[in-house]
């Protein structure tokens, strides 16, 4: 067994760590207050190639393994989660559909521009009536000659304000349930595509989620991703693929909070000694460290399994669930150790505490992950007996 990263992955990780520490961290508070990521930072991220993590080299990306991507996501998780989300959603659910299910023409048309970040990607599944019950879509797609007409709406679509390319799920055959869902690649300037208001959120400032409205949205047949009826399975595959990456981002945030908490506990003096000498505080730090390290092991193991082409439905759900729950527990302890400063919005801990909360909800709630894990356990048990 070998737990070390290949040297070139370490090099990638180092550069991303430098970029995050030198460029993004100094403006994190500014992002939080203005709700905007400075253009200069986004431009630098594009020039570095951060938008092309998932895209094969032949289309101008990095073609990284999942382990390599996780190493980078972990570093990105150590700064403002809104910035992390812009890149994470683009390189995860925003591009993976086209990479994995797209045909040659679709890849040629979309991937090079998505690799450079000229076109930002987004994933549009969730609807007012279809959250955890993802198959309950109301958006319809009706074929008319060489195009589809799509009608309906989406909401909570991450990156929607700035994205150009959307992977959209719509119902082509209402009589077939989940098997009547089809996925499409939709460009922002297709006729009938309307971006609604930007949602006001608890956190993830700088990452802009919007409603989408489709009014006789015209999508050429060649923009159908896969065959009719494959949309739901496609969506699940895209989400499963994104889960280790999401966990890696949470892992980075946990590590950040742990480091900040140790530093603070060593500096903060109460009762004439640094609070780290209080066993109650030290035990909190120990628990944070154990959970962070456990998350690290599980994250890279699931990433490795993904790279081996193994079926990771259960493990991906585990790491999504565990990563989100650990992030929330670690953030809670970090606030507790920091006390009043942890609650103060001029310091970063409070921001991480709020940003952590969404991770138990988006890309499949913790409850849905438990459902997936449970269903797999039953399946495995039946196979054995």
Q: Which is nearer to another protein, 8 or 272 (CB)?
A: 8
Q: Which is nearer to another protein, 18 or 105 (CB)?
A: 18
- The total number of residues shown for the chain amounts to 385
Q: Which is nearer to another protein, 19 or 190 (CB)?
A: 19
Q: Which is nearer to another protein, 12 or 124 (CB)?
A: 12
With both helix axes pointing from N to C terminus, report the angle between 348-358 and 313-338 in degrees, rounded to the nearest 10: 150
CB of 101 to another protein, least distance (A): 24
Whole-angstrom distance, CA of residue 384 vs CA of residue 280 = 46
Whole-angstrom distance, CA of residue 200 vs CA of residue 350 = 18
Q: Which of 291, 363, 367, 380 is catalytic?
A: 363
Whole-angstrom distance, CA of residue 173 vs CA of residue 168 = 15
Identify whether 363 is a catalytic site residue: yes
Q: Which is nearer to another protein, 48 or 135 (CB)?
A: 48
Q: Tokens for 75, please give them.
A: 């570093």
- Helix, strand, coil tally for the chain in percent (to 5): 60, 15, 25
Whole-angstrom distance, CA of residue 207 vs CA of residue 82 = 5
CB of 44 to another protein, least distance (A): 7
**Nearest C-alpha neighbor of 363 from the set 200, 204, 257, 212:** 204
CB of 266 to another protein, least distance (A): 14
The C-alpha R_g of the chain, in whole angstroms, comes to: 21
CB of 384 to another protein, least distance (A): 43
CB of 70 to another protein, least distance (A): 14
**Nearest C-alpha neighbor of 248 from the set 7, 75, 365, 369:** 75
Residue ranges that bind another protein, judged by CB under 8 A: 8, 11-12, 15-16, 18-19, 44, 47-50, 52-53, 57, 61-62, 72
Query: Active-site positions?
Result: 363
């Amino acid at each position: 067994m070998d737990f070390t990263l290949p040297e070139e992955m370490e090099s990638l990780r180092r550069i991303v760590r430098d970029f995050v520490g030198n460029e993004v961290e100094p403006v994190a508070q500014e992002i939080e207050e203005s709700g905007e990521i400075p253009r200069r930072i986004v431009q630098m991220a594009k020039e570095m190639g951060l938008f092309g993590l998932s895209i094969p080299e032949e289309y101008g990306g990095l073609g990284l393994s999942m382990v390599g991507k996780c190493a980078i996501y972990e570093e990105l998780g150590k700064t403002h989660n809104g910035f992390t989300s812009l890149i994470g959603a683009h390189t995860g659910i925003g591009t993976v559909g086209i990479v994995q299910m797209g045909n040659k023409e679709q890849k040629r048309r979309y991937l090079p521009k998505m690799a450079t970040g000229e076109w930002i990607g987004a994933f549009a599944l969730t609807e007012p009536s279809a959250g955890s019950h993802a198959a309950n879509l109301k958006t319809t797609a009706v074929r008319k000659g060489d195009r589809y007409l799509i009608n309906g709406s989406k909401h909570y679509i991450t990156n929607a304000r700035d994205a150009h390319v959307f992977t959209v799920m719509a119902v082509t055959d209402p009589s077939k349930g989940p098997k009547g869902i089809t996925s499409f690649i939709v460009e922002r300037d297709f006729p009938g595509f309307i971006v609604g208001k930007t949602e006001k959120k608890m956190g993830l400032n700088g990452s802009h989620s919007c409603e989408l409205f489709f009014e006789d949205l015209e999508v050429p047949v060649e923009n159908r991703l896969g065959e009719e009826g494959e949309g739901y399975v496609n969506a699940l595959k895209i989400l499963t693929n994104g889960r280790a990456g999401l966990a890696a981002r949470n892992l980075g945030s946990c590590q950040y909070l742990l480091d900040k908490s140790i530093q603070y506990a060593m500096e903060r003096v109460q009762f004439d000694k640094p609070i780290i000498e209080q066993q109650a505080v030290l035990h909190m730090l120990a628990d944070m460290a154990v959970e962070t390290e456990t998350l690290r092991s599980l994250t890279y193991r699931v990433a490795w399994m993904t790279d081996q082409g193994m079926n990771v439905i259960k493990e991906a759900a585990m790491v999504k669930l565990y990563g989100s729950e650990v992030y929330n527990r670690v953030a809670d302890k970090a606030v507790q150790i920091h006390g009043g400063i942890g609650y103060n919005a001029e310091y970063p801990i409070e921001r991480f505490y709020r940003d952590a909360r969404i991770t138990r909800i988006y890309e499949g709630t913790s409850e849905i992950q438990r459902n997936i894990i449970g269903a797999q356990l039953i399946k495995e048990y039946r196979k054995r007996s």
